[in-house]
Amino acid sequence: MNKKHCSLLTISILFACNAHSAGFQVAEHSASGLGRAFSGEGAVADNASVLARNPAAMTLFKEAQFSGALSIVDPEVNVYDTLHKEQSDDVAPLQVVPAGYYISPINDNWAWGIGMFTTYGVATDYPDDISAGDMAGDTSLLSVNINPNIAYRINEKFSVGGGINLVYAEAELTRHKGALAPLFGSGSSKSDNLIGMEGETFAWGWNVGALF
């Protein structure tokens, strides 16, 4: 490898960025944001939902404002098992994603707000008697984030903000014996439960933002 190629490789490594997965992420925080493909979400203060992206933008509001959204997610996902020649239709059920936000200026420099929305969720609903029941079954993840924030305008061009995330989550996972049923004896069927788990938890985190 010559020096030129070595230098390019070194620069590429130094400026490499992390790749973050978001398979369960729910981005539908606002209807207006969804309409513009969420471009500029951290700076476009057209409604109170901006606090979910950047709390510093609350200083752009001159009066109190409430904003709500109700998204309906209805994907059509049909799965065909080529090994067992089985069809599973509509395995991702309809889900409703509500959200609500409130922002209020305190004075010319300070503002506060609170939001309630979800950031992660998923649902699958496969037939109980499919052969791939040990891998594909019923899955549910629900989360609710209550997010109080406060923001401060340092000057006419620069604001900062921060908040606390109070997150409740619950999950359920069910898998069936499927093609493994014969291994459990003659009385077993594909629809018998193999795994059933459920749980809930509460945790907290924080968020900060800046606007220039």
Measure the CA–CA gap between 209 and 161, rounded to whole angstroms. 5
Residue 21's pLDDT band (cuts 50, 70, 90): low
Instruction: Kindly list the distances between the CA atom of residue 169 and the CA atoms of 15, 80, 112, 161, in Å, as whole numbers in the listed order.
Output: 36, 31, 25, 25
Measure the CA–CA gap between 89 and 83, rounded to whole angstroms. 17
185: left (phi over 0), alpha (psi -120 to 50) or beta: left
Residue 35's pLDDT band (cuts 50, 70, 90): confident
With a cut of 60, say whether residue 17 has pLDDT above it. no
pLDDT > 70 in the chain, percent:
89
What single-letter amino acid sits at 211? L
What single-letter amino acid sits at 130? I
Question: Cα 115–118–120 angle (5° rounding)?
Answer: 150
* Mean pLDDT (the chain, rounded): 88
Give the pLDDT of residue 8. 43
Residue predicted with more confidence, 170 or 23? 170
Residue with tokens 């992660």: 120
With a cut of 80, say whether residue 16 has pLDDT above it. no
pLDDT tens, residue by residue, 45-65: 889 999 999 999 999 999 999
Segment 100-119 mean pLDDT:
96
Nearest CA to 42 among 207, 179, 164? 207
Residue predicted with more confidence, 2 or 117? 117
Task: Provide long-range contacts, Cβ within 8 A and 24+ apart, for 78-87.
Answer: 79/126, 79/136, 81/130, 81/131, 81/132, 83/131, 84/130, 84/131, 84/132, 84/179, 86/130, 86/131, 86/132
**Which stretch of 4-13, 114-123, 139-148, 152-161 has the lowest confidence by average pLDDT?**
4-13
pTM beyond 0.85: no
Quick one: DSSP state of residue 25?
Answer: B
Segment 186-190 mean pLDDT:
91
Residue 15's pLDDT band (cuts 50, 70, 90): very low
Residues 6 or more apart whose Cβ sits within 8 Å of residue 16: none
With a cut of 80, say whether residue 3 has pLDDT above it. no
pLDDT tens, residue by residue, 126-156: 999 999 999 999 999 999 999 999 999 999 9
Could you say which architecture CATH assigns to the domain 23-211?
Beta Barrel (2.40)
Delimit the domains of the chain by residue range.
23-211
Segment 107-116 mean pLDDT:
97
